[in-house]
Amino acid sequence: MNRDSASRAPRPGWPLWIAVLFLAALLGFLAFTGIEIIHEGWQQELHRADAIVVFGAAEYSGHPSPVLRARLDHAFGLFQKGVAPVVIVTGGAAADPSFSEGGVGSDYLEHRGIPEQNLIAETQGSDTAQSAVRVAVIMRANGLHSCVAVSDAYHVFRIKKLLEHEGIGPVYVSPRPDSRPHSFALRAYAVLREASSYLAWKLGLT
């Protein structure tokens, strides 16, 4: 190898610097996103909208889990206040194909007093991203444009981004009360999980 070729060869330190810069960018993205997640989780945007969208959680043999029930009860209160005339409940079936989160949630709200014609169940989404896509299809088919998204505090940031990506808007958020974890460790874990899920979606991995 001549002297010119040797001078053009990459220095051994470059791979390390690239790795350091990549890690710094990754941590910076997660930190900035985490701040946005926390900020969004404190919002209660009770604006008039075309629909209230309740993102699903576990159901047990046709009965909503405590988390899902709390989300549904919060949505029921919003409906009673006249925030929106339609409630869309999302979530597909899990281990038991006889029931879906969306179907169970819709039945629960109907039993609480919301008329059937004011309820729509999205029953195919297996995760937040799929449910957002299907909600957008349902809303467009019914001439609905704006919505208030109901879920847990640290979940609503990602929901808002997903729905906006699908052309829904404006998207307001209304987290269910007392849905932030009580300990610092659990709050940090929840924020990191949501930030990582959002990053994976941005990279097209989900």
* Per-residue three-class SS string for the chain: CCHHHHHHCCCCCHHHHHHHHHHHHHHHHHHHHHHHHHHHHCCCCCCCCCEEEECCCCEECCEECHHHHHHHHHHHHHHHCCCCCCEEECCCCCCCCCCCHHHHHHHHHHHHCCCHHHEEECCCCCCHHHHHHHHHHHHHHCCCCCEEEECCCCCHHHHHHHHHHCCCCCEEECCCCCCCCCCHHHHHHHHHHHHHHHHHHHCCCC
Q: Residue 85: phi, psi to the nearest 5?
A: -85, -10
The list of the chain residues with pLDDT below 50 reads 1, 6
Going along the chain from its start, the domains and CATH numbers come out as: 44-180 (3.40.50.620)
pLDDT cut 70: percent of the chain above it: 94
**d(Cα 146, Cα 168) in Å, to the nearest integer?**
6
pLDDT given for residue 1 in this prediction: 45
Q: Residue 176: phi, psi to the nearest 5?
A: -65, 145
pLDDT given for residue 25 in this prediction: 81
pLDDT given for residue 145 in this prediction: 96
Tally of CB atoms within 10 A around 2? 6
